[in-house]
Amino acid sequence: MVSKTDDKKAAPAAAAATAKPEEKKKVVSTIEEDDEFEDFPSADKEVIGWDAVEAAEKELNAWKDSWEDDDNETDFAVLLAAEKKKVSSAMKM
Protein backbone atom coordinates (compact mmCIF):
# COMPACT_ATOMS: atom_id res chain seq x y z
CA MET A 1 0.00 0.00 0.00
CA VAL A 2 2.88 2.37 0.72
CA SER A 3 4.83 3.33 -2.33
CA LYS A 4 8.44 4.33 -2.59
CA THR A 5 7.61 7.96 -3.13
CA ASP A 6 6.38 8.05 0.43
CA ASP A 7 9.87 8.28 1.78
CA LYS A 8 10.46 11.53 -0.01
CA LYS A 9 7.24 12.88 1.30
CA ALA A 10 7.89 11.80 4.82
CA ALA A 11 10.17 14.77 5.27
CA PRO A 12 7.66 17.55 4.53
CA ALA A 13 5.05 15.60 6.43
CA ALA A 14 7.32 15.51 9.44
CA ALA A 15 7.97 19.21 9.03
CA ALA A 16 4.23 19.73 8.98
CA ALA A 17 3.93 17.81 12.20
CA THR A 18 6.44 20.02 13.93
CA ALA A 19 5.07 23.16 12.35
CA LYS A 20 1.61 22.48 13.64
CA PRO A 21 1.88 20.55 16.84
CA GLU A 22 -1.40 22.06 17.95
CA GLU A 23 -3.23 20.32 15.14
CA LYS A 24 -1.77 16.94 15.93
CA LYS A 25 -2.58 17.25 19.60
CA LYS A 26 -6.07 18.27 18.75
CA VAL A 27 -6.67 15.11 16.81
CA VAL A 28 -5.79 12.75 19.60
CA SER A 29 -6.89 14.73 22.62
CA THR A 30 -10.62 15.00 22.11
CA ILE A 31 -13.11 12.60 20.62
CA GLU A 32 -15.02 15.21 18.67
CA GLU A 33 -11.94 16.20 16.72
CA ASP A 34 -11.96 12.69 15.42
CA ASP A 35 -15.02 13.47 13.35
CA GLU A 36 -13.24 15.96 11.17
CA PHE A 37 -12.24 15.33 7.60
CA GLU A 38 -8.62 16.38 7.66
CA ASP A 39 -6.87 18.48 5.13
CA PHE A 40 -4.69 16.34 2.94
CA PRO A 41 -1.16 17.56 3.54
CA SER A 42 -0.47 19.01 0.19
CA ALA A 43 3.09 17.90 -0.37
CA ASP A 44 2.00 14.86 -2.29
CA LYS A 45 -0.59 16.55 -4.41
CA GLU A 46 1.80 17.67 -7.08
CA VAL A 47 3.59 14.37 -7.28
CA ILE A 48 0.53 12.23 -7.66
CA GLY A 49 -2.13 13.18 -10.10
CA TRP A 50 -5.10 11.54 -11.69
CA ASP A 51 -2.95 9.20 -13.75
CA ALA A 52 -2.12 7.19 -10.68
CA VAL A 53 -5.77 6.62 -9.94
CA GLU A 54 -6.41 3.75 -12.24
CA ALA A 55 -3.34 1.86 -11.14
CA ALA A 56 -4.24 2.19 -7.50
CA GLU A 57 -7.95 1.84 -7.93
CA LYS A 58 -8.14 -1.74 -6.88
CA GLU A 59 -6.02 -1.22 -3.83
CA LEU A 60 -8.89 -1.37 -1.43
CA ASN A 61 -11.40 -4.00 -2.29
CA ALA A 62 -13.86 -2.65 0.16
CA TRP A 63 -16.99 -4.58 -0.65
CA LYS A 64 -18.13 -8.14 -0.81
CA ASP A 65 -19.55 -9.16 -4.14
CA SER A 66 -22.99 -10.06 -2.92
CA TRP A 67 -24.79 -11.63 -0.03
CA GLU A 68 -27.51 -12.99 -2.29
CA ASP A 69 -26.24 -16.51 -1.96
CA ASP A 70 -28.66 -19.37 -2.15
CA ASP A 71 -26.59 -21.21 0.38
CA ASN A 72 -28.78 -22.83 2.97
CA GLU A 73 -25.86 -24.32 4.87
CA THR A 74 -25.13 -21.40 7.18
CA ASP A 75 -25.77 -22.10 10.87
CA PHE A 76 -28.80 -19.92 11.01
CA ALA A 77 -30.27 -21.26 7.79
CA VAL A 78 -29.86 -24.81 9.08
CA LEU A 79 -31.55 -23.85 12.33
CA LEU A 80 -34.39 -22.25 10.41
CA ALA A 81 -34.76 -25.26 8.14
CA ALA A 82 -34.89 -27.59 11.15
CA GLU A 83 -37.62 -25.45 12.64
CA LYS A 84 -39.59 -25.62 9.41
CA LYS A 85 -39.47 -29.40 9.48
CA LYS A 86 -40.76 -29.45 13.03
CA VAL A 87 -43.58 -27.10 12.14
CA SER A 88 -44.50 -29.06 9.02
CA SER A 89 -44.60 -32.39 10.80
CA ALA A 90 -46.57 -30.92 13.69
CA MET A 91 -49.15 -29.66 11.22
CA LYS A 92 -49.53 -33.06 9.64
CA MET A 93 -50.38 -34.61 13.01
Q: Looking only at residues 27 through 66 of this chain, which bind another protein when binding is defined by CB under 8 A?
A: 27, 34-50, 52-53, 56-57, 59-64, 66
Say if CB 42 and CB 48 are below 8 A apart: no
Tell me how far the alpha carbon of residue 92 is from its chain's centroid: 50
CA–CA dist 20, 37 (Å, integer): 17
Binding residues (CB under 8 A) for another protein: these are 2-3, 5-6, 9, 12-13, 15-16, 18-20, 22-23, 26-27, 34-50, 52-53, 56-57, 59-64, 66-68, 70, 72, 74, 76-77, 79-81, 83-84, 87
